[in-house]
Structure 1
Amino acid sequence: MAEVEISFDVSRIDFDKTSDVIKASYWGEGRTDDIHRRAFANSLCVGAFVDDEQVGFARVVSDFACFAYVADVIVWPERRGLGIGKKLIRALLDHPELATVTGFSLRTSDAHSLYEQFGFVTSTDGMYMRLARQPAAREQT
C-alpha cells in the first residue's frame, strides 16, 4: 500500500463521500448532510489520503484548552485493517492546538481495542454521565 498522508486541510475533505460513509455506519444512521455540514464546521477535522484519494476521516469537538471529544472516526470499508484509523487518532492526539487538553472522551460499541492502544479506558469511575435525547425538529431555512 502507498504511504498514508494525514491532513487537517478541510478543503481536501470529500464532503459527499465522507457524509455518505458516516451515514452508512451504525452511529451515523439518521444523520443528514446538513447535520454533517454543521458538525464538521464546528470541529477540528482530519482526513487520511492515499495517492491524493481520501480513505478516512475523524474529527474532534473541543474547547482547545481542557476538553476534547473524538467523533466520527471512520476508514472507508475497502481500506480497513491497514492502520489508517490509528494514524487518524494519533494525528488528533498530537495536534498542537490540543496540547493542553487533558480530558479526551469518545463513544464506541466496536472499536475499544483501537482506542485502548492510545490509553483510553472504559469509564467505570462513577463520574461520567451522559444525556441521550432525541434531536429537536429544526426548521429548514
Structure 2
Amino acid sequence: MAEVEISFDASRIDFDKTSEVIKASYWGEGRTDEIHRRAFANSLCLGAYVDGEQVGFARVVTDYACFAYVADVIVWPGRRGLGIGKKLIQALLDHPELASVTGFSLRTSDAHSLYKKFGFVTSTDGMYMRLARQPATHE
C-alpha cells in the first residue's frame, strides 16, 4: 500500500464522501448532511489520504485545554485493516494543540482493540455519566 498521509486541513476533506460513509455506519444512521456540516465545523477534523485520495476521517470535539472527545473515526470500506485508523488516532493524540489535554474519551461498540493500543480503557470507575436524548425538532 502507498504511504498514508494525515492532514488536519479541513479544506481537503471530501465532505460528500465523508458524510456518506458515516451515514452508512452503525452510529451515523439517521444523521443528515446538515448535522455533519455543523459537527465538522465545530470540531478539529482530519483526513487520511493515499495518493491524494481521501480514505479515512476522524474528528475531536475539544476545548484544547482539558478535554477531548474523539468521534466519527472511520476508514472507507476496502481500505480497512491497513492501519489507517491507527494513524488517525496517533495523529490526534500527537496534535500540538491537544498537548495539555489529559482527558480523552470516546464511545465504540466494535473498535475497543484499536483504542486499547493507545491506552484507552473501558470506564468502570463509577464517575462517567451520560445523558441520551432525542434531538429537538425545529418546526
The match for 1:131 is 131
**2:6 counterpart SS class:** strand
Structure 1: gaps of 5 or more residues: none
The match for 1:96 is 96
Instruction: Give me the whole-angstrom Cα distance separating, in 1, the residues matched to 2:27 and 2:135.
Output: 14
Instruction: Give me the whole-angstrom Cα distance separating, in 2, the residues matched to 1:90 and 1:138.
Output: 38
Q: How does 1:1-141 map to 2 (within 5 A)?
A: 1-139=1-139
Tell me the TM-score normalised to structure 2 length: 0.99
Instruction: Give me the whole-angstrom Cα distance separating, in 2, the residues matched to 1:70 and 1:97.
Output: 15
Q: Deviations over 1:19-41 (max 9, x none)?
A: 00000000000000000000000
Instruction: Give me the whole-angstrom Cα distance separating, in 2, the residues matched to 1:27 and 1:96.
Output: 29
Instruction: Give me the whole-angstrom Cα distance separating, in 2, the residues matched to 1:78 and 1:16.
Output: 18
| Amino acid aligned to 2:118 | F
Instruction: Give me the whole-angstrom Cα distance separating, in 1, the residues matched to 2:58 and 2:138.
Output: 25
Identity of aligned pairs, percent? 89
Question: Structure 1 residue 49: deviation in Å?
Answer: 0.1
**1:78 counterpart SS class:** coil
Q: Deviations over 1:43-96 (max 9, x none)?
A: 000000000000000000000000000000000011000000000000001001
Instruction: Give me the whole-angstrom Cα distance separating, in 1, the residues matched to 2:20 and 2:42.
Output: 19
Structure 2: gaps of 5 or more residues: none
How many residues of Structure 1 are paired with residues of Structure 2 in the alignment? 139
Q: Deviations over 1:73-132 (max 9, x none)?
A: 000011000000000000001001100000000000000000000000000000000000
Question: Structure 1 residue 138: deviation in Å?
Answer: 2.7
Task: Flag as ranges the 4+ runs of structure 1 deviating above 2 A.
Answer: none
Tell me the TM-score normalised to structure 1 length: 0.98
| Amino acid aligned to 1:103 | G
